[in-house]
A = this chain, B = another copy of it.
Amino acid sequence: MNSLSKLLSIVENIYDQMKRGEIPEIKLTTRTKQNIEFKESSEVWVYGDKKSVRSAKSVKGAYQLLRMVYVIGFLKEQLSQNRSSTLRELYYISENWGIAKFNEQMESDRLIEDLEILTGLQRESFNVRPEEDGATVFGDIKIREKTRRGERVIHCQDDVGEAGYQIPTNVDNIEFLECNADFVIAIETGGMRDRLVENGFDEDYNAIIVHLKGQPARSTRRLLRRLNTELGLPVVVFTDGDPWSYRIYASVAYGSIKSAHLSEYLATPSAMFVGIRPSDILKYKLPSDKLTDEDIKALNAILSDPRFDSDFWRREIKLQLELGRKSEQQALAKYGLSFVTDVYLPERLTELGILKR
């Protein structure tokens, strides 16, 4: 069954209920922290069995079903014309839908998530996409991207400028043709990404450098998973040493709560953390900043987050709360511009078994 048929079957179901004289309703997975569970077979966090019902019995529910029908109508049109739209455009397009119009973009974004869950597809299958986010790849890998203008074959060192190959919104249009790298290093900040490129880390250590651009977009996480599962490359995640950065790592490795229905597409459970550890602040006497109240709250939340339930994280988070400090990856520049590639990363990657002694 293709994407369109799956979408249409939702509408048919509503239609059939009405035809039978029933008040139409739809059952949807509940998307909360309470309904997240660990799936042993794929080692990722996915939604559990809790369902909530959207029924036309209530005015609110009726509106939701009406909007869903309108959105599916729009997507049908879009798919048949082979066009695509951004989440923001979809929100504006509803302007002409009378009472079915969305009041804010959050509503239309959420409805697209509903459709993902109902169909088991990603929004890319509906040709709905977010904005480009500027994340990039640099390293010894040759890819083929299917674009609207035809296919493009690009080697991510030889055929790109210093800024690298920019990850498109739909990563499933990429095919991996040839890869001579040994592992992937995914980096939080642009400054550090540029440092590794300038220092030739990709060549010296045979690495693919991926820039996460902060909290990574779905496309970036999907690409990391594909590099890991299809090419068998280990993935390491190099971030700052604060709670927000640990969450970046967690969303790469275990999936995020917001998109747990897609964890099996997006998460890389074997991804390893090489970001700044609270113990590094002591070990390397790194320049650091005081934790803010929000940082402390976020660290405490991590202590009860099932994704961080390990000795390593408990020890490090507790240490950080004691120190009351956080540190950035660029703080390694205290020891000069080469310290991160000559000392810090080789040590960490050897410990993790990525580099052999």
Using a CB–CB distance below 8 Å, which chain A residues touch chain B?
78, 83-86, 88-89, 92-93, 95-96, 129, 131-136, 145, 147-149, 152, 154, 157-169, 173, 189-191, 193-195, 197-198, 200, 211, 213, 287, 328, 330-334, 336-337
Q: Is the beta-carbon distance between B334 and A95 smaller than 8 angstroms?
A: yes
The interface residues of chain B lying within 8 Å CB-to-CB of A86 are 191, 194-195, 330
The interface residues of chain B lying within 8 Å CB-to-CB of A93 are 333-334, 336-337
Q: Is the beta-carbon distance between B157 and A149 smaller than 8 angstroms?
A: yes
Q: Is the beta-carbon distance between B190 and A148 smaller than 8 angstroms?
A: no
A334 to B102, CA, bound (A): 12
The interface residues of chain B lying within 8 Å CB-to-CB of A88 are 189, 191, 328, 330, 333
What residue of chain B has the Cβ atom nearest to residue A149's Cβ?
A: B157
Q: Which 10 A-B pairs have the closest CB atoms?
A: A134-B134, A131-B190, A163-B166, A86-B191, A92-B333, A89-B333, A95-B334, A145-B161, A147-B162, A132-B190
Q: Find A287's partner among B78, B85, B92 (CB 8 Å cutoff).
A: B92
Q: Is the beta-carbon distance between B168 and A161 smaller than 8 angstroms?
A: yes
Q: Find A160's partner among B78, B152, B191 (CB 8 Å cutoff).
A: B152
A197 to B169, CA, bound (A): 13
Q: Is the beta-carbon distance between A92 and B334 smaller than 8 angstroms?
A: yes
The smallest C-beta distance from A201 to any residue of chain B, in angstroms, reads 12
What residue of chain B has the Cβ atom nearest to residue A90's Cβ?
A: B333
